[in-house]
Structure 1
Amino acid sequence: DLGLQDSKTLELKNQMMLLYNNISDKRSEITTTALFLDNINKRNKQIDLELKGMNKEKLEIENNIKNFNNDLSTNKLFLEDKNSESLTIINNAEKMNEELVSLKNILIEKENELNNTTNSVELYKKMESQYEGYYQSVKDIVKVVTRNPELNKGFISVVAELFEVDKAYLKAIEIALGSSIQNIVVEDDLAAKRLIEYLKTEKKGRATFLPLNTVKANNISIPEKTKTDYNLLGTADELIKYNPKYKNIFKNLLGKTIVAKELDSAILYSKKADFKTRIVTLDGDLINPGGSLTGGSFKNSSISILNRKNIIKDLSKKIRDIKDSVSGYNNTLKIKNENLSIINNNLNTVKLEEEKIKTKIINLINTIKNSSMDLDRINNDIQRIELEQEQLKTEADNLKNTEATFKKENDKMNTNMLELKAQIKESESILEELKTKKDKFDEEITDLKIIINQMDSEINEKTKLISQNKKDLEDITSNIESITMKIKETKALLLLNAEEHNSIKINLEKFTLSENSKSNDLNELIARRDKKMGEFYEYGEKLKVYNKRLTQLERDINKLEIEKTRANIQIETITEKLITDYDLDYKSALQYTFEVTDIKEERNSVIYLKDKIKLLGNVNISYIEEYKAVSERYDFLSKQLSDLNIAKEDIELVIKDIDRKMRVSFKQTFDQINISFGETFSELFNGGKARLEIYEGEDILTSGIEIMAQPLGKKLQSLTLLSGGEKSLTAVALLFAILRVKPAPFCILDEIDASLDEANITRYTDYLQKLDKQTQFVLITHRKPTMEIADVLYGVTMEEDGISKLLSIKLKDFNEVAI
């Protein structure tokens, strides 16, 4: 039966088609598995290459990190050296500053000393120019000759101004001269006569004149052996310096007065000379002819006429020395300032080098950090790739097992296919003629389906391969970007090192040039010093020759005058008594000649007058300067006192005005706060009233303020009578009242809600939120209701002993999320 046979054949073919489809699926699965295995093998090879490159890169990074750490250690050592150098320079700078302060203080002291010394010199010069200490008659003569040319003819000067004496001999020469130091030296007796006539006419008193043409030398000569044996210095005229023109004058005045070193030697020699000589000691003790001794202490010898010249000379020398010292200190100060400037420049240079090293260290730390991050990334990549490799290996093993299973199933289906083909062939032999075309179509359709299935499998495989290739491309791109960043950082580091090298090279060249310049200056100074020393030694030799010649000349003069001195000894002894006892020479004494009836009575009168003069003591000239200074100080302080009194009155007026304004302002503000306090209190206590009261009868600015409060349901009472919670809430109300009147931009409240109950704390927080628009509050609290109104919450916790940790939460963000 064709239909039955056709059905049977069709059924067999359907079975074969089904088997073909299964075989095609198995082949597709086998092909797909083979492709997966091939891709896994390729990926494994790629992974091996990547691992090799990554390990190489890892080794390079590890070497770089090692080198960077070495550079970091080196630079840290450099930084420590620079810090030590900087500290040394700072210590030197501080030491130099201390030296500068010390020098400046010394300069101030020297300048003060210079001013004081200059003032003293000016005072003594003024005293000298005004002839302080001289007799009034001498003063008048000196003043008149400057105005009257006629009287000035032949006038020379007073004795005190015509010679110089060393300080060691000052006291002896002053005693030796006595009042003769105020004698007036003139050219001739005519000049003396004119001046005497002037004194008589103007009734200016009396004076002693020494004409050069009439006064004769009157001196003695002392052998050198006698000087040595009795410790004598010579005659007084030998111990002073004067113009040879006045030789007779000083020989006359001092030529017969012998100067001894001490009183014992003077007494011995006086005894040898049978008390016929006048001897004065360096201490001012005097042995008169006849054997009387005069001596004792001096109240103030520093202001005598003769000493005044030496004081001026000494002070002038002191001024020059101080100026030289100030100049030296200024030079030293200049050098110190220059050295300090150099130290500061060095410090700045070291600081710049420190900053460069710090920058380099920071760059190295960042580089090491980046390299460590790169190393961690590479290690992570290696771990990832190795994990991927393990996964691929497991997947490959699974695929191989699956492929073997598929091949077995495929072989079994091929066997079944052969059996079906035999059956179909047998069936087709029957229907061969009828179904030839149909079979051909069926075979073509079957082949096309197989091809389509194979193409679908290939498309799926290609899609998976493209995805894998994209992933690999992304990894390669990431690696390229990382390597590019490293190249840029390495180039920047190389540029930085090159700049530091150039900077060090330039500084080295500068230091070399500076050293050569300083060496040249030093050599030049040494040459100049050697030249000056040569000139110094040459002048020293010349000075020795001149001193030798001068000594010889003085000895010759002394020998020539010894004979003349001996002839005048007797005359000098007679006139000496007049000078010693009465401060008169022979010619002056003639003017006072009068007839004496009772010589004993006259001598007693003289002794009484001398004692009375001694009781008067010495005139202290320094009191003039002291009076002037005290007077100037008094005037200055009086003016200061007057200014202070005026300023005090002005300040008192200002204080009164300020107090008035303060009272008005305080009263206005107090009233505003009082009103605000009542409103705030009523709102916080949900009723009640409160007010502020100023104590009566007291100053509003210094009086106390009483807080009166009446919570709802209670009587009005003082704050001290309220409970603890009521006191706290009343204080909060007062604070809020002040903030309402005088808002503050910022306010800290430290646990002021600690003693409030739940009801009061709710009203407290509600009112606080009304004020946060104009004032920012920082609250320190342990109460949850207060925390809930905060915008930001900060908490401090201690997870470990001694280690605090700060936590912060923006509650506003949580509230928005909750909403």
Structure 2
Amino acid sequence: IEQERDTVTVQIEQMEDELSRLRNAVLENQREMEALKRETETLFENMRIQRADKEQKLSQLGSFESKMEQLKEEREKLRDYSHHLELSIQETRGKIERILDEIDGTSVEEVKEVDSETLEKFKLEIEDLENKMRYLGPVDMTVVGEYKEVDSRFNELELQKRDLQEAKRKIEKLIEKTDEEARNRFFDIYERVNTKFNSFISTLFPGGTGEIRVEAGRDLLESGVEISVRKPNKRIQKLQLLSGGEKALVGIALLFALLEVRPSPFYVLDEVDAALDEFNAERFKRLIEKETERSQFIIITHNKVVMECADILHGVTMVDGISTIVPVRLEEFALEDE
């Protein structure tokens, strides 16, 4: 009895050491997953911020362009008015100077000899000039200052527009670069997962093939995927046409393909074999036995076939409302049977 107790004590210590190692591995795996998750979230958050900044710049650019159009119209109106005013003033000044020249060059005797027709002509010209002056109204000298102010504001907005266009170009280039990098990374992972998926399908369905196809006609980052499987001596079938057990095997193949691309020292599988019958459970067992050559698995299962591939079983039983774990090392039973 003492020897058995010592043996059990040693086994318990070994299992505690193994459990501690597994816990540390779990924590390390969780840290890696959290780091990857944060990296992914940061990437998408940066893309979201860049897109939002681009939209804001585009909105500002549209507002500036609208203001610039208004200022252009206002500047053209002021320019036309100023030009018209200048021409009218020059025309009036010319006529006045011409009349004064005619008067200055005329003697008193000549004035007396001027006939009524000439006087009437001068009178009409004077009235015409007076009418034009009344039409023009008082000259607003602030127009010149207003024109300079509007022109300065226009040039300032023109400069801001160029800055915004340059910022827009840089943001679009950055988004294009980020999208291209994301597409390249996605396509690389997709190719690797697709190859591994086909390999695992051929293991679970000996002689079969599997393929993951990206939906055509859409952006790679926004498209969905379609899974198809060809069982031995059968036509290619979509996932929807497979039985429940076959769908479970396809899901397991996809899961293992993803894990193969991002390997880990161990994996935890929670009743992934629940929908498998005995025949398909045997296939799953063979897959686990093959993969345990490079990784460890903690599998929660009720399937006896799957339990056969375990090195250690941890049975959970309820005693007086309390869950109790009973570890069993199967290799010891194998030695006893021998």
TM-score of the two chains, using structure 1 as the length reference = 0.20
TM-score, normalised to structure 2, is 0.47
* Structure with the largest fraction of helix: 1
| Structure having greater relative contact order (Cα 8 Å, sep ≥ 6) | 1
Q: Greater Rg, structure 1 or structure 2? A: 1
